[in-house]
Amino acid sequence: MVIGLCLSHKVADASAICTFIHCWATTALQSSTDSDQVILLPEFGASSLFPPLDFSNSSQPPAKEAVKEKCTTGRKLGWKSCGIFHIIVPKPTRVEAASALIWKCKIEASARSSSNMLGTSLIRPSVFSHTVNIRKKTVPPLPENLVGNLVDYSTTNYSHSGENTTVIDLKGLVAKIRGGLEETKERYAAEVVFDSNEAGQKMKCYKNQIKKDDIDKYYCSSWCRFPFYEADFGWGKPSWVSSVAIAMNNATALMDTRDGNGIEAWVTLSQENMALFESNKELLAYASLNPRVTN
């Protein structure tokens, strides 16, 4: 038995999807059993706090066209135990460690790619954008069942300085990602005030940055710690939950394994860069490529 779900990111993020699945599953469970589980109904008041912006004149191409143009291919990575991340760097979160390792290996793949205009093995500058669920970052926190696309972006830049232009410091990438996430958290710690003009200017600056051909752009979204595996439609909890497709090049989606001890990553790259990425010895030392789904 497989259940599929497709929602537009224009109206719902991972947290909103999780709320929808919880309501759906609980309703189905109550109709088939004597379950008294409480349904956490969605709230739709996000627009009162965050007035929507008008992106109707946006020049961004449709995701499907962007993927087709770049001949994007995807792979799944798996870590059975998050304890292995402590071998990579001391005291990381699993999202920080997995994101940094994947970012590092993507940078190295780009450096070895034939499209690298800087020359073989020279590291290209890159920007790494991490989505952040702002519900728990605000003071006071927003309801977890508040529906909407309530995410911000933690953007981290990487470029080489100094003589060594072929070696990347993994610990340094972890520190950059952690610093970016902390900075995003601090922005919402003082007050919940959404400035549409400020948000619009921030979006324009970000779009101008990612348009540059001499900078590689990478994106990451973490679905870790969302209770997707708690959804019971009446025949038990799921054996496997996953995002089946990422309509974007250079993207990564992180998710818990069923037992909560591991982590999975869906990764997209161009076909050439993917071949280089999945042969990276450091990556394969820690992660399994296309691991099997097991109960």
Q: Are strands 251-256 and 216-222 parallel, antiparallel or unpaired?
A: parallel
Q: What is the DSSP letter of 146?
A: B
- Which is the catalytic residue, given 9, 54, 169, 216? 9
120 burial level (CB within 10 Å; 0-12, 13-18, 19+): exposed
- DSSP states of 103-129: HHHHHHHHHHSTT-TT-TTPPPPEEEE
Which pair of structure tokens corresponds to residue 69? 């143009």
Alpha-carbon dihedral angle through residues 44, 7, 178, 77, given to the nearest 10 degrees:
150
Q: How far is CA 221 from CA 127, 159, 232, in A?
A: 14, 22, 25
Q: 179 CB contacts (<8 Å, ≥6 apart)?
A: 156
Which pair of structure tokens corresponds to residue 163? 């003589």
Q: What angle (nearest 5°) sits at the alpha carbon of residue 198, between those of residues 222 and 178?
A: 35
Q: Which amino acid is at 244?
A: V
Closest CA to 241 of 8, 25, 41, 9: 25
- Which is the catalytic residue, given 54, 195, 232, 259? 232
Q: Is 232 a catalytic residue?
A: yes
Which residues are identified as catalytic? 9, 232
